[in-house]
Amino acid sequence: MNRQLKPADISITLARALRRPGLLDSEDTAVVFYDLDLIASRISELKNAFPANTLHAVAIKANPLARILALLAEAGTGLEAATRPELFMALATGMPAERIVYDSPVKTGDDLKYALGAGVTVNLDSWEEVLMLERLAGRQPPAGPVGLRINPQVGAGSIADTSVATADSKFGVPLSDQRNRIVRAYRLYPWLTGVHLHIGSQGCSLEMMASGVAAVFDLVKQIESATGRQLSFFDIGGGLPVAYRRNETVPSVAEYANLLKQLCPGLFEGRYRLITEFGRYVHANAGWVASRVEAVKQLRNEKIAMIHVGADMFLRKCYRADQWHHEISVMEPDGSLKTGRDKSSYRVAGPLCFAGDILGKGISLPPVARDDYLVIHDAGAYTLSMWSRYNSRQLPKVIGYRENGKHFEILKKRETLQQVAAFWN
């Protein structure tokens, strides 16, 4: 299945945004757009694929914009927080504690107290955290549900840096190597009431992800027979890959859920509160960036289009161009799509003071001119959230839209010079 936004639809939206009085000004050299209808439809897909009582705790790290978190809360999802500030932000949206999951890979005693005090679901990541909770809990059971992150050790996907379930991954406790210790812990601590795993991210196959869930489901059966009690929640994490290349087909969440149902039917019988933590699947295809072209340099072998966004927002793409990809389209100054047959090879360069600030090399594009817009597609996840402060660039304005731009709302204003300066105070 492929559900990326089409350049022609994006062009309609950009043209409408450029015409809308007061929405953009000359200093909006690069602007991030989110199709809010697409995010809503991904949420519906999640809800339809899994049992009705599943908590879809959307990963904040993929897209932490406060207005988007609020929209997710309204749509009935939960939120997954990877750090204390993310947890703080989740609570600040007004999201009820029972819909928040706290998964930081390194928690202090204070972090644990804060999370347990708030009553959110906490997934412990290491034996040190288990012991910390033992000390904190004493005879007093924690307020919220507590799970342990299990690394099912299913190996790496095609992108090593973001594969988290390898034999030696830094995340969680390793299942095959420490199975007995894990079962003993559930026997010892009645407050351990759930399990958590996460395999991902981009570059992992459905089969690999589902086999990890099945391995942990097997463990749960063993824990239940060893302890004589039933666990209350099963958190399968996120990690579903999305399409970045034009016409790339990727699995849908319904296919993933069906495969899980085949492999572990017991997960879908209502005995456990299922939790998912998808991030990329919800956001990646809904976001795109339009940057004005400031200059086009004709060099010896290639032309370079100089734009206003680069390795500040696209860290993975710029630093690991071999592993990550974004399609790029060209639009006229009024937003209309350039499709000409007379394409030539371009390098697309960002504004930062280092030579590696390159969004793409050898990209075949219609003629690019100053004041055109380059649109970088599928930029909704792990882009703005990974913003780099190098060269102190202003975070761009972020605009949400519905119905191809019949309705716009500013999700976040462009950062001011004062705000950038304040960051370094």
Q: How many residues would you count in the chain?
A: 425
User: Minimum distance between the CB of residue 376 and ligand LLP, rounded to whole angstroms?
Assistant: 15
Pick the binder of ligand LLP from 45, 86, 103, 129 (CB under 6 A).
103
User: Percent helix, strand, coil in the chain (nearest 5)?
Assistant: 35, 20, 40
State yes or no: residue 279 binds ligand LLP (CB under 6 A).
yes
Please tell me what DSSP assigns to residue 149.
E
In the chain, count H helices and then E strands.
12, 19
* Residues in region 196-225 near ligand LLP by CB under 6 A: 198, 200-201
Of residues 31 through 70, those in contact with ligand LLP by CB under 6 A are 59, 62
Residues 350, 395: Cα–Cα separation, whole Å: 14
- Closest approach of ligand LLP to the CB of residue 169, in Å: 11
**Residue with smaller CB distance to ligand LLP, 327 or 372:** 327
Shortest CB 97 distance to ligand LLP, Å: 18
Q: Find the part of the chain contacting ligand LLP (CB under 6 A) among 66-74, 108-116, 232-240, 349-357.
A: 232-240
Give the rounded distance of the alpha carbon of 413 from its chain centre. 21
Nearest alpha carbon to residue 113 among 87, 133, 92, 93: 133
C-alpha pair distances (Å), 341 with each of 326, 335, 344, 367, 369: 21, 19, 9, 9, 16
Q: Please, which residue, 316 or 338, has the CB nearer to ligand LLP?
A: 316
Q: Which stretch binds ligand LLP (CB under 6 A): 236-244, 250-258, 302-310, 343-351?
A: 236-244
**193 lies in the site for ligand LLP, by CB under 6 A:** no
CA distance 130 to 287: 38
Q: Rule CB under 6 A: is residue 151 a binding residue for ligand LLP?
A: no
Question: In whole angstroms, what separates CA 196 from the centre of its chain?
Answer: 18
Q: By C-beta, is 144 or 200 nearer to ligand LLP?
A: 200
Q: Which residues bind ligand LLP (CB under 6 A)?
A: 59, 62, 80, 103, 162, 198, 200-201, 237-240, 277-281, 316, 382
